[in-house]
Amino acid sequence: MATAEATIQTPALAAPKTGIWSWITTVDHKRIGIMYGVTALFFFFVGGLEALLIRIQLAKPENAFVSADVFNQLFTMHGTTMIFLVGMPIAVAFFNYLVPLQIGARDVAFPRLNALSYWIYLFGALFLNASFLLGAAPNVGWFGYAPLTMNEFSPGLNVDFWSIGIQILGVASIMGGVNFITTIINLRAPGMTFMRMPLFTWTTFVTSFLIITALPVLGISLFFITFDRFYGTQFFNPAAGGQSVLWQHLFWIFGHPEVYILILPAFGIVSDVIPAHTRKPLFGYAMMVYSSVLIGFIGWGVWAHHMFGTGMGPIADAFFSISTLIIAIPTGVKVFNWLATMWGGAIRFTTPMLFCIGMVAFFTFGGISGVHHGVPPASLQQTDTYYVVAHFHYVLFGGLIMGIFAGLYHWWPKLTGRFLSERLGKLNFWLFVIGMNMTFFPMHVVGLLGMPRRVFTYPAELNLGHINMIITIGGFLTALGALVFAINVIRTFRKGERTTDPNPWGAHTLEWATTTPPQVYNFANLPVVRSREPMWDHPEEMLAQTTGEPKAPIHLPPPSYWPIFTAVGVILAMALMMTGKWWPPLIGAAWVGIGIINWAYEPID
Amino acid sequence: MNHTAVAQGPNQHHTSTGLPMFKLGFWVFIGSETLLFGTLISTYMIYRGESVTGPFPKDIFSIPLTTFSAFVLLMSSLTMVLALAAVKRGDRKLGMRWLLTTAALGSVFLGFQAYEFTHFAAEGLTMGSNLFGSTFYLMTGFHGAHVSIGVFWLLALWLEGLRGGLGQDSAVRVEVCGLYWHFVDIVWIAIFTFVYLFEV
């Protein structure tokens, strides 16, 4: 593929351009990372609003705040948004910004493909949410079980928006996975061996393999749904011999690796943040690497623990139960290693460190209820109750979100040259802790008392009204914490404490061997790495190489509008399936073809 | 660690492995494509024998015909290898000829697919007829779409040659096209074996 590149002779010419067109055509991993982050955080608030509406409805029994149909749309979109529009993209935001910096590269392997992934994500997210404008948001749960998703039971546009919208997002993810695997294998600086890479880069690597293997399974499964709905195929039609349980198998073969896709980046973040704020190397680096890889592999063998209620038989149940319990082992290894890293360290209770501690604590707690689910007899009582909701929110909010916020507070000064306020940060943290536990701990109780999931109300006779009210209040406290974060961000841009220190936290990894904020070309000269903690072992040597005047001309890829052009084609191809006719999607395909050809033959300067 | 500066032509990155970026990335992509076709073929196998109504595979498969089209596709992989060898040697004209031949053979294969699909439809097998129709058409349809994209790619390279390109520095791009083409061929070998030959 011909790559167009512009030669930058001096840092002065490297000054980033401003204006919206420069963002639309950017291929700079740092800008793409920021765009991913801003978009993901926006949808975090959207998904949070959906959660609050759910909680208002459930605050009292037999409430009529929203109808059952609207409730179904709310919980479906809350889950879909948080997983596909927040959880995965925010991780990609971090992958984008940090991985090239952590391995000593100037950009990712395929910068224009990187931009394409972002634009497809953005347009896909807008497509999915456009369903609200038609009052037809997806309403079948984020996992869309057959036969509910068939025309017979869901005649409206809701399921079409869902199956097509997620398909679009999956395409973006797979491209990103390919990009990061290639980047990490092929663009490491001299001396940056695999076993010297920061843990965050390692988890990016493992996550990317999970993405490129799991998402295609989902993609094909979604085509089965779309084809059943639009073109009359019989994949899930019982009258034709089709089996609804096949959907469950296919979905969860994707779905379980998906949850590791969600959590591994957070594992990587705290593995890099904790050492920085305890001034102590990560305990058991090699085991942390191997356990990440092992989690990736074993994660493929546990999917049917989501299906213990489907009557698979004792052999299948036993197999998946054992594999599920086994995967707790490498995960537990990580927890102990984080604790061992903190033990004896000079802990600074900064906001990033607090979020790390919260992550370790609450993820472990959620992991324990996960082990409970892994035992089929117990699972049969817990399935479809709030016990499950409690589990996955502890691991996803307590684990993923807290990990993400640790990363946000930790890397914010590097990105922006300003510190987020510690005072507001701590307030953010404690509101999350109190709110989150007030919301999700009681759910274990109401779940075991029999309150079912995904139902828009519950009878007064269950006597669960008071607990549900407490849960709802917890939700609003959490929301307040999110608001405090937003205020912190705004306030920081206005009058945050500034820094130009390359390494304000005194951290150990290569991304801190750059100016603050980094130059567009990242490193004046690519460093020669000599250790696993280069910024602790040889900081002056690193900075001497990486900051200051470049010794040789720097080649950076020039901006391009073909990625956004091609992204429009991808959306068209998918969205035009809604017409129900076979030929309109081909228009989108042709558009994509035109985009790709122009992209491939963009002139070399 | 081996830090290799590979002479890949102008404006190419240094790489940690010595492998060209496009080639490495494309192998990763092919890895993900195996899951894609794996899901389609697995679903076919799961639903094999489960159709409630006909037509059934034994009723309408023509093994001789499909054997011939598989042979055509296999031969196209040979011509692809010859194309790459020519480009690597700097023989633009010969490279163009073999690329065009590969595209032509691929198109012949697609012609056979089109004939097969219309013939099956005339015999009463559409994608909506039964599980066999649904799984068969989606699986072979996805494969055919991949072959079609490959044909376009080959023609684009041929056009590049027509305009004086396709020199030795384009060998990596031709090689990647070849990777894609061989992958699509191997998928067909899998489909031909598990879908057609298993019915014999």
Helix (H) and strand (E) counts in chain A: 20, 4
A304 Cβ contact partners less than 8 Å away, ≥ 6 residues apart: A249, A252, A312, A316, A320
Q: How confident is the model at residue A14 (pLDDT cuts 50, 70, 90)?
A: low
- Tell me what pLDDT residue B9 has: 36
Mean pLDDT to the nearest integer, B136-152: 98
Q: Are strands A497-498 and A418-419 parallel, antiparallel or unpaired?
A: antiparallel
CB contact under 8 A, A240 and B40: no
Residues 6+ apart with CB under 8 A from A444: A369, A386, A387, A390
Could you give the CA distance from residue A364 to residue B130 in angstroms, rounded to a whole number? 48
Q: Sign of torsion, CA A558 A559 A561 A566?
A: positive
Residue A497, helix vs strand vs coil = strand
The whole-number average pLDDT for the span A306-319 is 96
pLDDT at B8 over 80: no
Q: Is the pLDDT of residue A545 over 80?
A: yes
Q: How far apart are CA A399 and CA A409, in angstroms?
A: 16
Indicate whether B5 belongs to any domain.
Answer: no
Which residues on chain B are in Cβ contact (under 8 Å) with A231? 127-128
Q: For chain B, what percentages of helix, strand and coil (3-state, to nearest 5) are there?
A: 75, 0, 20
Q: What is the pLDDT of residues B68-105, one digit of tens each?
A: 999 999 999 999 999 999 999 999 999 999 999 999 99
Residues 6+ apart with CB under 8 A from A544: none
pLDDT for the residue numbered B13 = 62
Quote the pLDDT of residue B21. 95
- Give the pair of three-digit tokens for residue B191: 């489909």
CB atoms within 10 A of CB A461: 7
Give the domain ranges of chain A.
6-230+243-560
Contact A110 B156 (CB under 8 A): no
Chain A residues in contact with B29 (beta carbon < 8 A): 178, 212
Residues A89 and A40: beta-carbon distance below 8 Å: yes
Give me the pLDDT at residue A16, please: 56
Q: Residue A13: pLDDT band by 50, 70, 90 thresholds?
A: very low
What's the pLDDT at A9? 52
Q: Looking only at Cα atoms, what is the longest distance across chain A?
A: 76
Taking an 8 Å cut-off on Cβ atoms, the answer to whether A109 and B35 are in contact is: no
Whether the Cβ atoms of residue B163 and residue B122 lie closer than 8 Å to each other: no
Residue B55 domain-assigned? yes
Under 8 Å between Cβ of A503 and A539: yes
- Mutation target to probe the B interface, by most B beta carbons within 10 A, among A185, A192, A245, A251 is A185
- Establish if B168 touches chain A: CB-CB under 8 angstroms: no
Best of B14, B15, B32 to mutate (most A CBs within 10 Å, chain A): B32
Q: What are phi and psi of B66, to 5 degrees?
A: -70, -35
Q: Buried b / exposed e across B95-124, counting CB within 10 Å, b at 16+? A: bbbbbbbbbbbbbbbbebbeebbeebeeee
* pLDDT band for position A416 (cuts 50, 70, 90): very high
Q: What per-residue string of b and e applies to A123-157 under the rule 16 or more CB within 10 Å gives b?
A: bbbebbbebeeeebbbbbbbbbebbbbbeeebeeb
What pLDDT is attached to residue A466? 97
* A26 contact B CB<8A: no
Q: Count Cβ atoms below 10 Å from residue A460 Cβ, excluding itself.
A: 11
Q: Which one of A185, A220, A593 has the shortest CB-CB distance to B39?
A: A220
Residue B95: both structure tokens together:
């490279």
Put simply, whether B131 touches A (Cβ < 8 Å) is yes
Q: Minimal CA–CA distance to A85: which of A137, A42, A30, A139?
A: A42
Tell me the C-alpha distance between A221 and A21, whole Å.
37
Question: How far from the centroid of its chain's Cα atoms is residue A393's Cα?
Answer: 14
Cα separation, A62 vs A463, whole angstroms: 12
Dihedral sign, Cα of residue A336, residue A340, residue A341, residue A342: positive
Q: Is residue B151 part of a domain?
A: yes
Rounded-to-integer distance, Cα A217 and Cα A254, Å: 6
At B2, the pLDDT band (50, 70, 90 cuts) reads very low
First to last CA, chain B: 53
Rounded Cα distance, A251 and B39, in Å: 11
CATH number of the domain located at residue range(s) A6-230+243-560 in this protein: 1.20.210.10
CB-CB under 8 Å, B25 with A110: yes
**CB A220, CB B41: distance < 8 Å:** no
Compute the distance between CA of residue A176 and CA of residue A264 in angstroms, rounded to an integer.
16
The A residues from 147 to 176 touching B (CB cutoff 8 Å) are 174
pTM of the model: 0.95
Q: Do A234 and B19 touch (CB under 8 A)?
A: no
Give me the number of domains chain B comprises.
Answer: 1
* Rounded-to-integer distance, Cα B165 and Cα A603, Å: 13
pLDDT score of A556: 87
**Cβ-defined contact of B24 to A185 (cutoff 8 Å):** yes
Q: How far is B135 from chain A (nearest CA, A)?
A: 8
> What is the tally of helices (H) and strands (E) in chain B?
6, 0
What is residue B66's predicted lDDT score, i.e. its pLDDT? 96
Q: Which residue has the tokens 């198109």?
A: B107
Facing residue for B128 by CB, picked from A193, A223, A233: A233
How many CB atoms within 10 Å of residue A541?
14
Q: Give the model's pLDDT for residue A549.
A: 87
Residue with the two structure tokens 């200051």: A548
Domain range spanning residue B27? 21-199
Residue A10 predicted with pLDDT over 60: no
**Predicted pLDDT of residue B6:** 38
Residues of B in contact with A188 (CB under 8 A): 16
Q: Kindly list the distances between the CA atom of residue A181 and the CA atoms of A212, A269, B89, B177, B192, in Å, as whole numbers in the listed order.
A: 10, 18, 31, 20, 32
- For residue A498, give the H/E element and its range: strand A497-498
3-state helix, strand, coil in chain A (%, to 5): 70, 0, 25
Can you tell me the distance from the alpha carbon of A373 to that of A306, in angstroms, rounded to the nearest whole number?
A: 9
Nearest chain B residue (CA) to A242: B131
Residue A532's H or E segment, with its range, is none
**Residue in B13, B21, B50 nearest the CB of A241:** B50
User: For residue A434, what is the enclosing H or E element?
Assistant: helix A422-448
Rounded Cα distance between B163 and A77, Å, is 51
Nearest-neighbour CA in chain B from A432: distance (Å): 38
Surface of A (289-308) touching B: CB under 8 A: none
How does pLDDT run across A377-387, given as a tens digit for each residue? 999 999 999 99
Contact B147, B102 (CB under 8 A): no
Residue A604 or A124, more confident: A124
Chain B nearest-CA residue for A557: B11
Nearest CA among A123, A103, A126, A127 for reference residue A115 = A123
- When pLDDT is averaged across residues B175-179 and rounded to a whole number, the result is 98
CATH of the domain at B28: 1.20.120.80
Residue B100 CA to residue A440 CA, distance in Å, equals: 63
Report which of A449, A478, A455, A471 is spatially closest to residue A63, judged by C-alpha positions. A455
